[in-house]
Amino acid sequence: MNAQADFRSDTVTKPSAGMRRAMAAAEVGDAVYDDDPTTNRLESMTAEILGKEAGLFFPSATQANLGGLMAHCGRGDEFIVGQKAHAYRDEGGGAAVLGSIQPQPLPNEPDGIIDLDAITAAVKPDDFHNPVTRLLALENTFSGHPLPEDYLRDATELARGHGLATHLDGARLMNAAVATGTSPAAIAEHFDSVSLCLSKGLGAPVGALLLGPKQLIDRAKRIRKTLGGGMRQTGVIAAAGISALEHNVTRLGEDHDRASRLAEVFRGFPELGAGEAHTNMVFMSPREVDMDAFTAFLADRGIIVGGGYGTLRWVTHLDIDDEAIERVGEACREYFTRA
């Protein structure tokens, strides 16, 4: 039987042989004392790539986002965020639970943007009855959609006009940069702080970074320690991040191309209700299709897909090849032509 084709997420990738060699050869020290040269190199090179003053390595993007939120906001402060944003819906409520920060969620449009008038209306007046609105947090990409450059400019300028700081959940920032032909720094320049995940699409097994001004990163370092994110010989995993940034950014275009081909396959089966691919994701909302039966049929053929909220999400990544796309097409034809 062919190897399993796992479309659940771009986090399921395995480190390449070259990445494993880099990890094994990494020079290490104690990162809590800032003595790990490989981690220091990862932080400085990522800050340079994104045009920021400093960077800080975290175990996960969830913790990097939380570190950023807590560095910007104090207890009882508020941040504006999308109703469907990962930092609001999929990170365990950490901002409220651990940071005592109140989220002010606003509706996301299908492409991930938040209406500018809604942002303006959500900024609280200077009244002791209200929490202090401190921060606007956006996400890029959002459900596979790169946020438009003009929207990033307009939204962050609006925020600054109201005295707010800005944070970008850039878990798939590199996908957005490749898809739009924009440099990562050009996207990041709109924001005071940016998180970047190394294990989504880039192929590293673990790790994320928070980038921003040195003063903010120094605050985040203290917060990281409080959150239990201070690690020791992190060069072993930082080396994987360096390898990912050096070798796996430009190839993201291959994932986008395969996602587009996957969407084209699904267009032949309108009952699947599949949308277009904007980066490396295809979402479908099947109509009059037994989703459990369909996904079980695929699983029997070594094709794994994830979903939730009535949709299925297909994610391409460096461990999905052309043969896997062909297998999906064959499985769909077999499923919908059964007697």
List the chain domain ranges: 17-247, 251-336
Looking at residue 308, its pLDDT comes to: 74
Looking at residue 1, its pLDDT comes to: 43
CB-based burial, 134-166: b 16+ in 10 Å, e otherwise: bbbbbbbbbbbbbbeeebbeebbebbeeeebbb
Name the packing angle between helices 37-50 and 235-247 (round to 10°). Answer: 30
Contact 173, 188 (CB under 8 A): yes
- Element housing 46 (H / E): helix 37-50
Q: What is the DSSP letter of 108?
A: P
Looking at residue 2, its pLDDT comes to: 60
With left for phi above 0 and alpha for psi between -120 and 50, is residue 70 left, alpha or beta? alpha
- Record the pTM: 0.95
Structure tokens at 179: 């898809």
Looking at residue 307, its pLDDT comes to: 83
Contact 36, 42 (CB under 8 A): no
Give 100-117 pLDDT, tens digit per residue: 999 999 999 999 999 999
Q: Which CATH architecture has domain 251-336?
A: Alpha-Beta Complex (3.90)
Structure tokens at 220: 């985040």
Q: What is the DSSP letter of 75?
A: T
Looking at residue 83, its pLDDT comes to: 97
Walk along the chain (339 residues) and give the pLDDT tens digit of each residue.
468 999 999 999 999 999 999 999 999 999 999 999 999 999 999 999 999 999 999 999 999 999 999 999 999 999 999 999 999 999 999 999 999 999 999 999 999 999 999 999 999 999 999 999 999 999 999 999 999 999 999 999 999 999 999 999 999 999 999 999 999 999 999 999 999 999 999 999 999 999 999 999 999 999 999 999 999 999 999 999 999 999 999 999 999 999 999 999 999 999 999 999 999 999 999 988 999 999 999 999 999 999 876 789 999 999 999 999 999 999 999 999 984
Edge-to-edge strand list for the sheet holding 133-139: 54-58, 208-212, 193-197, 165-170, 133-139, 78-82, 102-106
Give 286-305 pLDDT, tens digit per residue: 988 999 999 999 999 999 99
Q: What's the burial of 58, exposed, middle or buried (CB within 10 Å: 0-12/13-18/19+)?
A: buried
Contact 196, 68 (CB under 8 A): no
Per CATH, domain 17-247 is 3.40.640.10: yes
